[in-house]
Amino acid sequence: MKLVVKIAGQALCWVGCLLAASTLAAPHHASGTQTPAVAHHNPAPDVPLAPGYGPLGFELPAVGSYARPMIGQASDGVVIDSRGQQTTLKALMAGKVTLLSFMYASCSDVNGCPLASYVLNRVMQRLAKDPRLNERVQLLSLSFDRLNDTPEVLRKYAARFEAEQARNWRFLTTPSDAELEKILKSYNQFVIQDVDSNGKPVGSLSHLLRVYLIDEQQNLREVYSVSFLHPDILVQDMLTILSDREAP
């Protein structure tokens, strides 16, 4: 029980830090005030946290004892990293198992982008400790808020959880709206601009949280939603995919 309470406390602390960061990253009006967020995209403080914030509630099967079959092919697209370097998703994914997430830095839905960032941070910590994973796995987080999530903003966002130093977690944007739309469509990611009661756009975006598991040959192997986005599950699945390659 003490361990569970400690983990829950750490998760709440993390969420608080990320929500503070999202407030700082939120787009501003010309007057200098922050754009208000709509209520339906910002859960009340008493909304239950997603399972990914706490200990896993069930025992996972052993690595390699189950399959993650191919369910599609990862799509390509031109992207720009947090250092301003242009490349492609295919080039980044080549030869590595990849976790690809879509996010935006000013998201304040505790069970949305902050959840993905928390889970991927925990995965990143596991990568650093496991030589089986560290050189063969990477994390990619692609923003769908081009206007506000510039490379500089993404670099500062990444620095909050030491992703800049990790080398295997990259934050990305796109060079154009057309390129972003193409990538989002290919991954069945739909993003809606939230509006106020007068139909005026506000600072928040509505989207379905999804994280994609892609193997070294750029085959799509799994898509995680909120209920199954947990660091233990992600690491176990990555190890299972890598064990497929090592099998005789």
Residue recorded with tokens 């949305």 = 112
pLDDT digits (tens, 9 = 90+) for 175-222: 999 999 999 999 999 998 888 888 888 888 988 999 999 999 999 999
Do residues 118 and 226 touch, judged by C-beta distance below 8 A? no
153 falls within a domain: yes
Could you list the residue range(s) of the whole structural domain that residue 97 is in? 2-27+72-246
* Alpha carbon separation from 110 to 28, 41, 169 (Å, rounded): 21, 9, 21
**H-helix or E-strand containing 194?**
strand 191-195
166 falls within a domain: yes
For residue 23, what is the domain's CATH number? 3.40.30.10
54 falls within a domain: no
**Total domains present in the chain:** 1
Q: Following DSSP, what letter does each residue of 13-39 receive, concatenated?
A: HHHHHHHHHHHHHS-B-TTSPBPPPPG
pLDDT at 32: 36
Q: Following DSSP, what letter does each residue of 35-76 receive, concatenated?
A: PPPPGGGS--TTSPPPGGGS--SSPPPPTTSS-----EEPPP
pLDDT digits (tens, 9 = 90+) for 66-119: 999 999 999 999 999 999 999 999 999 999 999 999 999 999 999 999 999 999
Measured distance CA(212)–CA(138) in Å, rounded: 12
Mean residue pLDDT across the chain: 85
Average pLDDT over residues 130-138: 89
64 falls within a domain: no
Between 64-68, 165-169, 170-174, the lowest mean confidence (pLDDT) is in 165-169
pTM over 0.85: no
116 falls within a domain: yes
204 falls within a domain: yes
What phi-psi label fits residue 218: left (phi over 0), alpha (psi between -120 and 50 degrees) or beta? left
Which of 201, 208, 163 shows the shortest CA–CA distance to 38? 201
